[in-house]
Structure 1
Amino acid sequence: MTTYVLVPGFWLGGWAWRPVAEALRAHGHEVHALSLTGMGERAHLARPEVDLEVHVTDVVNLLRYEDLTDVVLVGHSYAGAVVTTAAADRMPDRVAKLVFVDTGPLPDGVSQSEFDEPDERAATARLVAEHGDGWRLPPPPWAQLLPGLDADVLATLADRSVPQPWATATSPVSLTGAWEKLPRLGVLCSFTEQQARAMAGAPLFRHMADEQWEYEELPTSHWPMFTRPAELAEILHRAAPGQSGT
């Protein structure tokens, strides 16, 4: 039995992991699907001051107060690039493995928003200013991003996704490097292993290729917990320390 902590990306709460969590529990694993501050059932806690540090603390406190050890710490999108890495950097003794779902770790001192091109960053800033009260990024048009997805799932996404506190994307990650000794798996959905290893030559992606990395490709959208949850759960099951096969 392995303990998994599943952390969602922008706009989502722990509810987004439900099919994946259920499949992992069916394998006998312990699963904690976390809603970060201001997200999911904790949407009422959203405020302009919610930034990366608050979300890192969410993960750190879960590990501490639930006394979780030998954890497979899974982050999707924003959560993998920032929260998962930062939390593991602070408590590496409690983490057995890091899993990045269609994302990668941010270098020290870099914020999530720095990955966007200047024009896209300016457009997002306008969206936050004009439709997010100056501090929230509204959810995207899910039906356009995930065409062909089951109508019930799209309806759930529209109903449960909430604006993302924008300070979580503009505050930089602060790392000591302690996390770099941890083994890690990249689950690649919108790009390939070859592309991931090639990107490691750029400063923002320099952590994407070393001896600590394994990769598995799951070709689908950027949100595999909705489009291919069973396959994602099976990959995570195989990622358990000491696990081989299914």
Structure 2
Amino acid sequence: MVWTHCIVAACALLPQAAAAAPNGWQFEVSGATGATTRGIVESDKTPTVGIGASWYPDPGGGFFIGASALTMRSTHFPETGAKIVADAGYMWRIDGDWSIQAIVSRYQFEHVPFAARLGYDEVALRGGWRDTVFASVTASPDTAFGPSPKSRSFSYDIAGRLPLAHGFSATAGIGYYDLRAQLGSGFVYADAGLTYEYGSMQLDLWYIGTRASTQMQAQIGALLAHRWVADVIWHF
């Protein structure tokens, strides 16, 4: 999933699904035409396969944990690698309409070039209103790009979800990735698309775009997304 779609899922869809799952556990298996995070293409050579698990003991609020793994293969490296994410956090529900999540995450990469340098830690604060409008701020102390030293990075996102008829919903989001400490600048990323839900199955189709300065384009232009992505997710 692209990052703003992840915000929608984390703040709205997963806690709701966990409410109906035994003991608060929620699992998922997914397949997608590619993988992108904050406008950065992570996998574009072959379809990706992902698995994930999360535990919300009390979907109405409280402590939660999660972990996921995703296959990666890019035009920039020939072998199939993996992205592994583990997180823990706390969720508050306020007056039934508002939700707030504080999350600590570890991102780890395996069997990709410079895997040790790519791994990073992150803290995030996410908020949602009526499972329709969502916002997120993240900070990382140890993000690296290319030969740049590991340093701080930040991101700021806002996303929306509009329920439509017959199981469809429209989603859209925009964000800014602040990489001044690594690359001297940042860039804007955005996406818009449709989601269809039928029982425990979810289908997504969206377009991802980015806008960056000439300096940023010269440094990481080949990694910036301008593409359609589709996925299918089975929640159980």
State the TM bucket, normalised to the shorter chain. 0.3 to 0.5
TM-score by length of 1: 0.31
Give 1 or 2: higher strand fraction.
Answer: 2
Give 1 or 2: higher helix fraction.
Answer: 1
TM-score by length of 2: 0.32
**Higher relative contact order, chain-length normalized (CA < 8 Å, sep 6+):** 1
